[in-house]
Amino acid sequence: MLEKLSSTGEFVGNNNYSQQQVEQAREVLNTILSFSQSSLDKIEFYNGDAKKDITNNTSIILEAMSSNSPIEMLLPAFPAKSPNRNKTISHLPDLGEYLGLKRLNLLCEEILYKYDGGAQITICSDGRVFGDIVNVSDTMVNEYNASIRQMIDKHNFTNLKIFTLDDHFDIKDFQKMRDDLRKKYGQSLDTIRQQVLSDKHEKSLFNGLHKFVFEDIIFGYGDASRNKIRKLSKEITYQVIQSSHAWSSLVASIFPKTIRLSIHPYAIGSGKISISLVPSASRWATPWHNVVLKDKLGYRLVKKHEAIEEGAQLIEDEYGYKYFACQTIIATQ
């Protein structure tokens, strides 16, 4: 029998897993990490928090393997399109969302090569959670969510499923859903502010989200001064983090034994594995804040105005998903 990994990455105590099972679990974890451009070899040079992540995630994988169950992963993502039309085409999903979903399903298929039980990713779509804060209507959230579900069904992405706030609350009042979520699972805004000041992960999260919020507010309140917009965007960012953390607490209580994924670039040892959905020059780029541009190097995420400035043309693929393509690409199609 092998000993179990401790929080420092060393083996302590006995358990019921063989060397072969542990190695198989580590291969699966390495497969997941490869989608975040990392690996166990890299992580094991980091601190105790990073090694604790390895221990926890390996344990989750081993437990699933012991019952031949799918390895469960959780990803808060695909909320709704940014309302800033300098960045996005419309409020509906486009080629970016399709490529992102395809990559997540591919991750599960890659795991199947390592483990017969396979894997499943639950996408926790959080647009309803903070749509009221970032000026995205519930109607837009409804139509976006419906289109994402249609994509998953149409392309037979059987390893993916969607969970939303609507699935948890047995009420039809969307604002009451949000209020109940924040009341039961949320922290005070003062607590959020203090965490941003004292915690490096929270500070990084705040800075990344604030950039998005600032860009969107400028688009919606272009006549206001930049100082006023910056001040407003900071307060909105605190509220977004408050709602996002409340949502994370809720889904953690519903899905306790899952590997936590994130589209945000969390540092090693944060408890989450960062996943890149579509290539981009920015680690923070997501399909719902950008458009897809196809050039000679392939697909990448850019803001809509950047694609237009490059002279790209808006077209559709064979499925009707919109994206921008450079003139040289269009000429060869």
Structural domain ending residue among the three candidates 30, 45, 66: 66
Residue 49: which pLDDT band, with cuts at 50, 70 and 90?
confident
Say whether both 62 and 74 belong to one domain: no
Provide the number of structural domains found in the chain: 2
Residue 3 has pLDDT above 50, yes or no: no
Say whether both 58 and 125 belong to one domain: no
Say whether both 260 and 319 belong to one domain: yes
Question: Which pLDDT tens digit goes with each residue over 56-93?
Answer: 999 999 999 999 999 999 999 999 999 999 999 999 99
pLDDT of residue 47: 59
Say whether both 99 and 19 belong to one domain: no
Say whether both 286 and 268 belong to one domain: yes
Say whether both 237 and 121 belong to one domain: yes
Residue 55 has pLDDT above 50, yes or no: yes
Question: Which pLDDT tens digit goes with each residue over 167-222?
Answer: 999 888 999 999 999 999 999 999 999 999 999 889 988 998 998 899 888 776 66
Q: CA of 93: how far to CAs of 130, 148, 299, 313, in Å?
A: 18, 7, 16, 18
> What is the average pLDDT across 254-277?
85
Say whether both 25 and 61 belong to one domain: yes
Structural domain ending residue among the three candidates 13, 45, 66: 66
Say whether both 185 and 61 belong to one domain: no
Question: Which pLDDT tens digit goes with each residue over 83-128?
Answer: 999 999 999 999 999 999 999 999 999 999 999 999 999 999 999 9
pLDDT of residue 14: 41
For residue 194, give both structure tokens.
């203090």
Residue 30 belongs to domain spanning: 1-66
Say whether both 52 and 99 belong to one domain: no
pLDDT of residue 41: 60
pLDDT of residue 46: 58
Say whether both 224 and 279 belong to one domain: yes
Say whether both 49 and 128 belong to one domain: no
User: Residues 212-216: contacts with CB within 8 Å, 24+ apart?
Assistant: 212/82, 212/284, 212/289, 213/134, 213/237, 213/240, 215/84, 215/86, 215/87, 216/82, 216/83, 216/84, 216/87, 216/134, 216/135
290 and 323 Cβ atoms separated by less than 8 Å: no
Closest residue by Cα to residue 205 from 141, 270, 261, 294: 270
Structural domain ending residue among the three candidates 66, 85, 107: 66
pLDDT of residue 43: 57
Say whether both 44 and 185 belong to one domain: no
